[in-house]
Amino acid sequence: MTQSALYEQDRLHGPLRRALPGLLLAGAGLLCLVIGAVLRGDEATVALFAAAGALLAISGLLALYRGIRRSRAQAALVVLRQLAEGDPAPTLIEDASGRLLFANHTAARWFTLVSGDHVADLLAEMTPEPEELRHRVLLRAEGGGVSEEVVSPSGRYRLTLALVETLSCWRIDRLPQTAAPEIPGEAIGAPDGETAAPGPEAAGAAPVPVLTVGRSGTVLYMNDVARRMIGRRIRRVDEVLELPLRSGKLYQIVTPEGTRSVRLRCADAGVGRQEVLLHPVDQPSPGRARSGLDDLPVPLLRLAPDGHILHANAAACRMLEVSSADGTLLGSHMEGLGRSIADWLADAAAGRGLHRSEFLRLSRPEREVFVQVTLNRVMDGGRTELVALLNDATELKTLEAQFVQSQKMQAIGQLAGGVAHDFNNLLTAISGHCDLLLLRHDQGDADYADLQQINQNANRAAGLVGQLLAFSRKQTLSVERLDLRDTLSDLTHLLNRLVGERVQLILRHDPVLPQIRGDRRQLEQVLMNLVVNARDAMAAGGEIVIETQRVVVQEALSRDRARVEPGVYACVKVVDQGEGIPQDKLQKVFEPFFTTKRTGEGTGLGLSTVYGIVKQTGGFIFVDSVVGEGSCFTLLFPAYEEVAAAELPPAEPERAAAAPEGGAVLLVEDEAPVRAFAARALRLRGFSVIEAETAEQALEVLEDASLKVDVFVTDVVMPGMDGPSWVRRALELRPGTRVVFVSGYAEESLDKSRVAVPNSVFLPKPFSLSELTETVEQQLA
């Protein structure tokens, strides 16, 4: 195949293969959108829309990253091709996986190019260890260029490597052969009395042990064949060979299989180095050669093309945690992450994809262990076999999963905040107009029960939105000083009703438990969610223990990617006797929409809500679990440090709330249904209301100096100028006017704007008729 055909094939098929993960993610996201649009349930729809947003966001990032790398690599490839075309030396260009992208005309005459070739395949025609040579030179390059002289049975070469973007450009120069002493009547490498074997230039020459020796006899490099023959990595050549070294001389060396006879061939490699080739005079039997694998420190497997393990060395058995794996199937020890193992092995046995590693997961019930497997094809007695090199890739896959998880959590958090804002506007209009209808109906009215149902379901929807905000840590908290013992005592009756008769709830308190600062309502929700999860984990009943204690952390504690600083903490433990959580799922329990319950039994937001509330309060949550024994959730809250009484300013006497005699309210809200409800509610309480749709319209209204306004009621986020901005401008002309900010976002969305707005309060959406009117009345009191 010509070099242009090779490049054209990569251009056509490479992008599609690399884009496949992004296309699959985008397809999954669109599928979630379609299913979410079909389903009627609010919870399921929100979940699917959130998942779709995350998948589409990740797909877009992958596409952008892939496009940038592809464009830069293509530009570099064009330049390198132009330079290599006129080079008289063979020049090869490969991608990051080692696949050949381009070979100039000289290289096409040197090598037989086949579709799917890798550079290592071509280097095998000139050196017995092509893969090791390639990796060694790549490591030495380190983003620049490097040259290395290679002495092999086929001659002497200089390899020059240049790295550009993700491409590697190889230039090969043949060097003149250093003359070696001739041995009359013998061919180097042939046993006594036998006919000389074909020269080293013959195709298919067997790999030969090679040593690179320095001036002082230090062994600078050993190839794999030499390590297997000697059985270890040696530091000096005189450990196995008598000095001085003479080319053509017969030496005796000690190997794990016994004493071996080798004939030396030495060649000058420059800068005081020489390459020493050890030609075995007597070849070991296949059985003895195979047993040498056990002494290697790397996990190796010999495989049949159908997946049966012919032999596993000691390091591989330790990784697989078995005494012996010989005769078993590879699929019984590990599983593929996408592609089936059988198809992968079949392609490798046919010579396809040998230099592309695969990531597999070992069969471990208690934890996830990933291995990177690289295959090579060998012939043994005319039969095709595969040699598999295993590397532990658990840490690499863990880092990859953490990166993907952080991106997913960030995308879902942003989506949750935006969805919650829109839902809060809708719920404010629904519950508000329901309150207006309830004012005109009493309990004896036939429509009263229906209105109550609407109101209750609107409140349930508001609770779900609150869970989304808690997950994204954007929920408005009403912080106060709390004693967790009092909170649990007030909650005990409700918790006993939640767990039922088959489950016993036990409370244990520390008498010196410190106080904390938090939102009582949100912490009650945390405890209820944990208790309900514990109850569901004990189908046959049991005990749930809630224990509080004072904990002093003397030194910083690092656990589960969290750092607990030294100090005093109030600790709450919720312990159950349930089924427990498997170790591979333990780190996923706090992910949104992750649940082990069956469809319809849970949304997967319970523990993610708990996590969001605890983190927003400044605390920590950890989980420990043993399958079959139960789980323990541990919550740590920083102790509240009281300020000395002398430092506290004297408390101001509370002003009696005077009933307003009516006042003028300027209502600014861009959502028409919310504005209509709020205006009617305020007018029913005797206020005169001036409505404005935007901040700019409100400022135009205030240009009338004769118009009296007592209170500004304004949304925070609006098209154009936002609420704090227009209020600050209005207060320049009307100082002292009271302000009520309303928003579907959390109070933190005001940032520091409210600090510069005196006499202002915040009212989160959704709010009821009474909450709105009471807030405005308090501002006028």
Q: Assign 391 a pLDDT band (cuts: 50, 70, 90).
A: confident
At residue 516, the pLDDT reads: 92
For residues 394-399, give the mean pLDDT: 74
pLDDT at residue 545 above 80?
A: yes
Residues 6+ apart with CB under 8 A from 48: 32, 33, 35, 36, 39
pLDDT at residue 205 above 80?
A: no
- Integer Cα distance of 61 and 268 in angstroms: 52
Position 174, amino acid: R
- Integer Cα distance of 514 and 485 in angstroms: 10
At residue 633, the pLDDT reads: 93
Residues 6+ apart with CB under 8 A from 586: 623, 625
- Integer Cα distance of 592 and 399 in angstroms: 20
For residues 214-230, give the mean pLDDT: 85
At residue 638, the pLDDT reads: 93
Edge-first strand order for the sheet with 273-280 is 219-222, 210-213, 273-280, 258-270, 250-255
For residues 615-640, give the mean pLDDT: 90
Q: Collapsing DSSP states into helix, strand and coil, what is residue 591?
A: coil
Position 695, amino acid: A
For residues 310-320, give the mean pLDDT: 85
Among the listed ranges 17-21, 64-68, 117-121, which one has the minimum average pLDDT value? 17-21
Q: Are 523 and 613 in contact (CB under 8 A)?
A: yes
At residue 660, the pLDDT reads: 45
Among the listed ranges 302-306, 388-392, 468-472, 477-481, which one has the minimum average pLDDT value? 468-472
Confidence (pTM): 0.36
- Integer Cα distance of 614 and 169 in angstroms: 54
Residue 334: phi, psi to the nearest 5? -150, 160
At residue 270, the pLDDT reads: 67
Q: What per-residue string of b and e applies to 465-494 under the rule 16 or more CB within 10 Å gives b?
A: bbbbbbbbbbbbbeeeebbbbebbeebeee
Most confident of 139-143, 383-387, 657-661: 383-387
- Integer Cα distance of 589 and 537 in angstroms: 14
pLDDT at residue 648 above 60?
A: no
Closest by CA to 569, choosing from 637, 508, 615, 523, is: 637
Among the listed ranges 30-34, 384-388, 762-766, which one has the minimum average pLDDT value? 30-34
pLDDT at residue 183 above 50?
A: no
Q: Assign 514 a pLDDT band (cuts: 50, 70, 90).
A: very high
DSSP type of residue 604: S
The dihedral region occupied by 580, where left means phi > 0, alpha psi between -120 and 50, and beta the remainder, is left
Residue for token digits 């709330």? 657
Q: Are 204 and 125 in contact (CB under 8 A)?
A: no
- Integer Cα distance of 362 and 356 in angstroms: 19
Closest by CA to 312, choosing from 331, 330, 335, is: 330
- Integer Cα distance of 463 and 745 in angstroms: 14
DSSP type of residue 91: E
At residue 17, the pLDDT reads: 56
Which whole-number Å values give the CA distances from 766 to 135, 189, 463, 743, in the listed order?
A: 62, 89, 10, 8
Most confident of 30-39, 167-176, 500-509: 500-509
Stronger pLDDT, 176 or 519, i.e. the higher one: 519
Position 647, amino acid: E
- Integer Cα distance of 725 and 134 in angstroms: 63
Closest by CA to 261, choosing from 285, 274, 279, 244, is: 279
Which whole-number Å values give the CA distances from 524 to 456, 482, 492, 603, in the listed order?
A: 20, 11, 10, 19
Closest by CA to 458, choosing from 501, 412, 426, 503, is: 426
Count CB-CB contacts under 10 A for residue 270.
10
Task: Provide Rg for the chain, Cα atoms.
Answer: 38
Which whole-number Å values give the CA distances from 112 to 107, 108, 498, 590, 686, in the listed order?
A: 9, 7, 76, 56, 94
At residue 736, the pLDDT reads: 86
For residues 566-587, give the mean pLDDT: 87
pLDDT tens track for 341-360:
888 888 888 877 776 778 88
- Integer Cα distance of 773 and 689 in angstroms: 12
Here the contacts of 614-620 (C-beta below 8 Å, separation 24 or greater) are 614/526, 615/473, 616/470, 616/473, 616/475, 616/477, 617/477, 617/516, 617/517, 617/518, 617/519, 617/522, 617/523, 620/562, 620/564
Closest by CA to 488, choosing from 544, 542, 541, 551, is: 544
Question: Going along 370-468, which residue ranges are E strands?
Answer: 370-380, 383-392
Most confident of 110-124, 202-216, 628-642: 628-642
- Integer Cα distance of 682 and 669 in angstroms: 14
Most confident of 35-44, 195-204, 772-781: 772-781
Q: Assign 464 a pLDDT band (cuts: 50, 70, 90).
A: low
pLDDT at residue 287 above 50?
A: no
At residue 575, the pLDDT reads: 94
Share of the chain above pLDDT 70, in %: 72
At residue 128, the pLDDT reads: 65
pLDDT at residue 644 above 50?
A: no
The average confidence (pLDDT) of the chain is 76
Q: Assign 274 a pLDDT band (cuts: 50, 70, 90).
A: confident
Residues 6+ apart with CB under 8 A from 619: 635, 636, 637, 638
Q: Assign 4 a pLDDT band (cuts: 50, 70, 90).
A: very low
Stronger pLDDT, 741 or 326, i.e. the higher one: 741
Q: Are 729 and 683 in contact (CB under 8 A)?
A: no
pLDDT at residue 136 above 80?
A: no
Helix then strand then coil, in percent of the chain rounded to 5, is 40, 25, 35
- Integer Cα distance of 304 and 311 in angstroms: 10
